[in-house]
């Protein structure tokens, strides 16, 4: 069980956040078109998973846009996914408004326990049921090559560390 903070207040997370070197089998998630997708089943050299509370918060929206820009410039051979508890309709609205084309937004709304599988499910807090902010980078064999559980939910992850992990 991990702990992070939200505006300085301690928040307990359910599940075990994956560490570098671990094999990760991801849960089934929901695409914008309401179809199931399991990231670990995707054939890609790298899979970057960005988990966050809600696209409707300024930090989540801004960091998602930053991630999309970074992916366009520096993340070749990387499939980029965002995962949140948002409804696919909210994610689609954001996607259209921000004109993001190189990131696939996924929702856990059909299976709230999916956040537990990533070790980021917020428990016993005003934000219960949402994801804590985190980044997980998988190789083609679904081995974790970088993971960051952001210690303060309102802060952005360090995407530069993702680029460094890919570049070796």
Burial (0-12, 13-18, 19+ Cβ within 10 Å), 21: exposed
| Sign of the alpha-carbon dihedral angle for 16, 18, 22, 25 | positive
Residue 79 confidence (pLDDT): 93
Active site residues: 60
Structural domain span for residue 143: 2-167
Alpha carbon distance 26, 98 (integer Å): 27
Q: The domain spanning residue 16 has which CATH number?
A: 3.40.30.10
How many domains does the chain divide into? 1
What b-and-e string marks burial along 67-91, b requiring 16 or more CB atoms within 10 Å of the CB?
Answer: bbebbeeebeebbbbbbbbbebebb
Helix/strand/coil for 15: coil
The pLDDT value recorded for residue 24 is 95
Dihedral angle of Cα 116, 17, 55, 89, to the nearest 10 degrees: -40
First-to-final CA distance of the chain:
30
Find all residues with CB under 8 Å of 85, minimum gap 6, and list them. 53, 54, 107, 108, 109, 112, 115, 129, 130, 131
Residues in the chain where the model's pLDDT stays below 50: none
């Amino acid at each position: 069980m991990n702990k992070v903070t939200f505006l300085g207040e301690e928040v307990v997370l359910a599940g075990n956040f994956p560490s570098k070197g671990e094999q990760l089998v991801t849960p089934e998630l929901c695409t914008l078109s309401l179809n199931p997708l399991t990231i670990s089943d995707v054939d890609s050299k790298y899979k970057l998973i960005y988990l966050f509370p809600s696209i409707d918060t300024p930090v989540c929206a801004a960091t998602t846009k930053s991630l999309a820009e970074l992916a366009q410039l520096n993340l070749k051979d990387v499939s980029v996914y965002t995962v949140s508890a948002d409804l696919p309709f909210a994610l689609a609205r954001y996607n259209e408004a921000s004109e993001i084309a190189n990131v696939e937004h996924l929702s856990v709304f059909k299976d709230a326990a999916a956040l537990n599988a990533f070790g980021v499910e917020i428990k016993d807090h005003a934000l219960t049921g949402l994801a804590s902010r985190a980044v997980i980078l998988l190789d083609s064999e679904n081995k974790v090559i970088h993971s960051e559980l952001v210690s303060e939910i309102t802060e952005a992850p360090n995407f530069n560390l993702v680029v460094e992990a890919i570049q070796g």
